[in-house]
Structure 1
Amino acid sequence: MTTTTATVPRTTPPLAPSTAAPARTHLALLVAVGLAALVGTVLVTVTIGPADLGVGEVARSIVAHVGLDVAPVAPLHDAIVWELRLPRVLTAAAVGAGLALAGAVMQSLTRNPLADPYLLGLSSGASLGAVAVLVVGVAVLLPVAAFVGAMAALVATLALARSGGMLTPGRTVLAGLAVSQLCAAGTSFVIFWTATGDSYREILSWLLGSLAGATWSSVAIAGGAVLVVGTLVVLAGVRLDAFAFGDTAAAALGVGVDRTRWTLMTLVALLTGAMVAVSGAIGFVGLVLPHAVGSLTGPAHRRLLPVAALAGAVFLVWADTLARTLFDPRELPVGIVTALIGVPVFAVLLRRGRGSAWT
């Protein structure tokens, strides 16, 4: 009796072909709905704030700045849309999409449903680099320092994992945890030894995740990373499917396991590093969104990844809108909002036990 109950979930996964087939049929519909939701979200959230703006004004301001002839918008409202709110909303969308993509890839590569984009120590490395420049008052270099810190953490993690032999999921996770703790200790030491006055508040805001300082440069960094690196990741969806059954099965299907894992982890690190560089460490987006979206798309990554990216973009835009308006004029770090939303959602997903990977 015990043998039968232990074997059935493994040979009959919950996402059976009968469940996955409709998701495959309606992929175009899901993407279309996601794109429409994203466009609507951008237009609506830009109107939300102390200044009284309408969706029509926002649309006219955007259209005018791309060179089309439309009815003019009041200069003050145009400045609010184009210089303040729109860059922040677009940055949030790009960061949400990038983190959701990175989380889905990490969960597949490590075969760990609790994996997120920061598993390789990237967040802690970026935090160490960011704090180092914040405490010396060179905030203008923060994105560069955060990105360099994330890449350094990646190199340290992969080198440590590789030093014990073949690069396996388990060894990579353990190496990432070790590097993460080391960088976290370094960050705490720098804050304790050097941070004074208002720098504490600035550092805390960045460590908890914030999009308050987003500019068009932030849009270029995050959006460019999603378009370039994210596209490469989505195109690798078929190879990611092979990892679901283990390295041996992937190799039997003709996938170069070691090379593919190194390549995809490097791409995820580049993507995550770019996101963290402009937003700080925003939790739960890369952990929860892939699981939530998977119930609609099925497990195949060529369907999961694009829909997860759109869902992550919409989710983080609304989370950031709550962060900046909920206690206006005070602003919450967006990482607090994503945690407050993400924990209950993750608890529901865990209670439902969607898939044998959860048990």
Structure 2
Amino acid sequence: MSRTDVPRKLKITAPLTIGSALVLLVVAFALSLMVGPVTVPLADLGTNPVVTEIRAPRIIIAALVGAALAVSGAIMQTVFHNPLADPGIVGVSSGAAVAAVLAIVTGASFFGQWTIPFSAFVGALITVALVYLIANSRAMDGRGADPATLVLVGMAITAFLGAVISAATANAPQDSELRSVTFWLNGDLVSRTWEHVGVAIIPIIVGLILAIGGSRDLNLLLLGESTAQTSGLNVNRARLILLALAALLTATAVAVSGTITFVGLVVPHLVRIILGADHRALLPTAALVGASFVIISDTIARMIFSPIVLQTGVVVAFIGSPIFLYLLLAMRKRRGLGL
């Protein structure tokens, strides 16, 4: 697709696609509020305490987490020029997981019920800073960090932190702590409250707005570093700001939901198939679809084996992994055909 084709395609397909994604989100949100061990009629959604105190905050967290992870994935795939990049590529999820696991295993409680979310958030940000300290060694001479270097450093740190998690889990003093670690690592939205919503909503909403505002920079990065610089973009600064936004979104999501995978991989690819790569439409649509994806997965987790509740992250992986495998094989086939 040429640069002149993008606006024309957006005028035709973007409003319809974004509108459809918004309708899907509203329907998924309403149905998720209604269904459960206790079915609540649509007319009673605003007054039933099961909805207002239990389901609503959980579903809002699911929507925020899905939107944050989807947009983070789209940003990282563009900045790294890597279609397989996702929010874990720079170690954000692993850093959050290590801090949370250590807090669980050691029994830390310096912030009460907020100890684990706070630890996860701090661990994610520290890991991102460490990745940049290592990968940005080239920045000392003004050249900035190579995206491939960032990916490799992130993968190495993720592997190292995974070993730390395994060691901490193996030495958990009590079985109850081991169970808590397992649930957190697989992503769980059980017992989310309005306080969790209060923690997540401002960073994620602000991060989403700023990310969508950076659509022009992302579109220029798609054209290549040389073309982007010729167009007046400070590539190094733009890359740093965009990755910082992705880190903020992912760290906040992981802090309130645990580790949920595949959202940042699958959703951006699905949206690109329909809209193409223009981030003016890609990012808002990915946010809406990501929110719906996690809400639907969470509803399935609550309902499929009721009264047994699966973890949301497990259901997301069950749904996301075959979709991603299909997309990967389809991309390889298209390349083999020269399409």
Paired position in structure 1 for 2:228: 250
Paired position in structure 2 for 1:67: none
Q: Is the 8 A contact 1:127 1:207 kept in 2?
A: yes
Which residue, 27, 40, 53 being the options, matches 1:83? 53
RMSD (CA atoms): 2.1
SS in 2 for 1:194: coil
| CA deviation vs aligned residue, 1:261-283 (integer Å, no higher than 9, x gap) | 11111111111100000011100
Q: Please state how far the C-alpha of 1:356 moved relative to its aligned partner.
A: 5.9
Alpha-carbon spacing, 1:105–1:358, altered in 2? closer, same or farther (3 Å): farther
Alpha-carbon spacing, 1:357–1:304, altered in 2? closer, same or farther (3 Å): farther
Paired position in structure 2 for 1:155: 129
Paired position in structure 2 for 1:204: 182
The amino acid across from 2:235 in the alignment is V
Paired position in structure 2 for 1:216: 194
- TM score, norm. by length of structure 2: 0.91
Aligned length: 329
Q: Is the 8 A contact 2:72 2:250 kept in 1?
A: yes
Paired position in structure 2 for 1:43: 30
Which residue, 297, 300, 319 being the options, matches 2:278? 300
| CA deviation vs aligned residue, 1:293-351 (integer Å, no higher than 9, x gap) | 11111110011000010000011100011112211222212121111111221122223
Q: Please state how far the C-alpha of 1:19 moved relative to its aligned partner.
A: 7.9
- TM score, norm. by length of structure 1: 0.86
Report matched runs for 1:1-359 at 5 Å.
21-58=8-45, 61=46, 73=47, 78-137=48-107, 138=109, 139-164=113-138, 166-353=144-331
Aligned equivalents of 1:186, 1:123: Cα separation in 2: 14
Aligned equivalents of 2:149, 2:5: Cα separation in 1: 35
SS in 2 for 1:198: helix
4+ residue runs over 4 A deviation: 15-20, 354-359
Q: Is the 8 A contact 1:290 1:304 kept in 2?
A: yes
More displaced 10-residue stretch of structure 1: 237-246 or 79-88: 237-246
SS in 2 for 1:135: helix
Alpha-carbon spacing, 1:356–1:262, altered in 2? closer, same or farther (3 Å): farther
Q: Give 5+ residue unaligned stretches, structure 1.
A: 1-12, 62-72
SS in 2 for 1:120: coil
SS in 2 for 1:324: helix
| CA deviation vs aligned residue, 1:116-155 (integer Å, no higher than 9, x gap) | 0111001110001101111233353111000000001100
Q: Give 5+ residue unaligned stretches, structure 2.
A: none
Q: Is the 8 A contact 2:103 2:119 kept in 1?
A: yes
Q: Which has the larger radius of gyration?
A: 1
Q: Please state how far the C-alpha of 1:34 moved relative to its aligned partner.
A: 2.0
Aligned equivalents of 1:323, 1:195: Cα separation in 2: 29
The amino acid across from 2:91 in the alignment is G
More displaced 10-residue stretch of structure 1: 90-99 or 16-25: 16-25
SS in 2 for 1:52: coil
SS in 2 for 1:330: coil
SS in 1 for 2:187: coil
Aligned equivalents of 1:196, 1:17: Cα separation in 2: 62
Q: Is the 8 A contact 2:54 2:191 kept in 1?
A: no
Q: Please state how far the C-alpha of 1:226 moved relative to its aligned partner.
A: 2.4
Aligned equivalents of 1:170, 1:142: Cα separation in 2: 32
